[in-house]
Amino acid sequence: MSFRIAPTMWASVMKEVGVEDLEERPTPQPAPDEVLVKVASVGVCGSDVHYFKHGRIADFIVKEPIVLGHELSGTIVAVGSDVDPGRVGQRVAVEPQRSCGVCEYCLSGRYNLCPKMEFYATPPVDGAFCDYVTIQSKFAHVVPETISDDAAALLEPLSVGIAAVQKAEIGPGATVLIAGGGPIGIITAQAARAFGATDVVISEPNPTRQEIALRHGATRVVVPGSEEYLAVAADTFIDCSGVNPAIVSGIRQVKPAGTVVLVGMGEDILPLPVGVVTGRELKVTGIFRYTGTWPIGIRLVASGLVQLDALVTGRYGLDEVADALGDPTGAVDLKRVVRPGERGLHRSSVAVR
């Protein structure tokens, strides 16, 4: 199988805060251990939006034009010299990172903590709002035909959810409290149920998101601070909101010897209720991306235990990336995806600068 590959491609480039331009660039060539992937679908992450609106996340600062987007799927159209040519034509979900492979963290299997990590759409590394990307062959995970391009792209946020429930050591019969009914909160709820939790409670003040959460993973929803919320006795609390009051109140709902996992990106400083943590011997930890989660995610989606397609509430062409990164325009806005191979997908009148 062979594909015609043009010498140039189109990319949506963030030139400065709030400005996206379509730009013609050379099509990348795979290194010996890499594959060339024609991008099919790219999920819009909150980090993409944050870079677009603010130009930085913590110490990661956009100092030069960058291609955003790190949740992606596509088809392998060419391979490097060390890769089996039989991989050409495979549909894949991309794990968007490259570690050094030789540091203490890589050698211990915790490559997500590699100090030399190159991660898509994290300055200065370009991401996937473009026609083609390269990735190490081992990080291009084959997906079955039963998984759509959009769902394959969303295996990336699912990996965040899987990493969170793994860190929480969730098992059969667990009660899990999750703060935040956004995409990561809902996906984490689905992962928690797949790992055996029987009571998955999402705290969310927005009525629309409450309804969505009940349809897609939560066994029940509660309003933060309500009587129902205060009655929750959780084995695990997972914060997917990044909101300090939600974190502090969630910690207080965890039973002795329970676990707290911080996922959401919020303020750098948290007023931790130390008396609760020490008096109950709670384990408080965080996650930073993931390791080895794609094979698990693929099996969960293929088996039907996790549903990702229903979370997509907007599709955009490559000329509409600025809109995809913009503010919500409707009551239901959960997960947006960009289809690089298409133009004018969301609305035909978009003007790209």
Are the beta carbons of 151 and 294 closer than 8 angstroms?
A: no
User: Residue 48: what pLDDT?
Assistant: 96
Are the beta carbons of 78 and 5 closer than 8 angstroms?
A: yes
For the chain, where do the domains classified as CATH 3.40.50.720 start and end?
164-286
Q: Could you give the residue ranges of the DSSP H alpha helices within the chain? A: 46-54, 104-107, 149-153, 155-168, 183-194, 207-215, 227-230, 244-252, 274-279, 294-303, 321-324
Q: How far apart are CA 113 and CA 244, in angstroms?
A: 25
Which residue shows structure tokens 């793994």? 166
Please, which residues bridge with residue 236 across strands?
Answer: 176, 259
pTM (2 d.p.): 0.94
User: Residue 221: what pLDDT?
Assistant: 98
CATH class of 164-286: alpha beta
Which residue shows structure tokens 């709670």? 282
User: Residue 331: what pLDDT?
Assistant: 60
The pLDDT profile of the chain, 353 residues, written as one tens digit per residue, is 789 999 999 999 999 999 999 999 999 999 999 999 999 999 999 999 999 999 999 889 999 999 999 999 999 999 999 999 999 999 999 999 999 999 999 999 999 999 999 999 999 999 999 999 999 999 999 999 999 999 999 999 999 999 999 999 999 999 999 999 999 999 999 999 999 999 999 999 999 999 999 999 899 999 999 999 999 999 999 999 999 999 999 999 999 999 999 998 888 889 999 999 999 999 999 999 999 999 999 999 999 999 999 999 999 999 999 999 998 766 668 899 999 999 888 754 333 32
Neighbours of 30 (CB within 10 A): 23
User: What length is written for the chain?
Assistant: 353
First to last CA, the chain: 37
Q: Which helix (H) or strand (E) holds 187?
A: helix 183-194
What Cα–Cα distance (Å) separates residue 49 from each residue in 130, 141, 287?
17, 26, 20
User: Residue 347: what pLDDT?
Assistant: 56
User: Residue 329: what pLDDT?
Assistant: 65
Phi and psi based region of residue 286 (left: phi greater than 0; alpha: psi -120 to 50; beta: remaining): beta
User: Residue 183: what pLDDT?
Assistant: 93
Please, which residues bridge with residue 283 across strands?
Answer: 259
For the chain, where do the domains classified as CATH 3.90.180.10 start and end?
8-154+308-339
Which residue shows structure tokens 């191979």? 341
Burial 114-124, CB ≥16 within 10 A → b, else e: beebebbbbbe
- For the chain, give the longest Cα–Cα distance: 64
In 3D space, the residue among 228, 280, 268 whose CA is nearest the CA of residue 260 turns out to be 280
Is cis: bond before 124, omega within 30 of 0? yes
- DSSP class of residue 113 equals G
Amino acid at position 348, single letter: S
Which residue shows structure tokens 């894949």? 92
Q: CATH topology for 8-154+308-339?
A: Quinone Oxidoreductase; Chain A, domain 1 (3.90.180)
10 Å CB burial of residue 278 (0-12, 13-18, 19+) is exposed
User: Residue 231: what pLDDT?
Assistant: 98
Return the structure tokens found at 50: 């944050």
Return the structure tokens found at 216: 């897609």
Which residue shows structure tokens 């667990």? 174
Q: How far apart are CA 30 and CA 348, in angstroms?
A: 34
Neighbours of 46 (CB within 10 A): 15
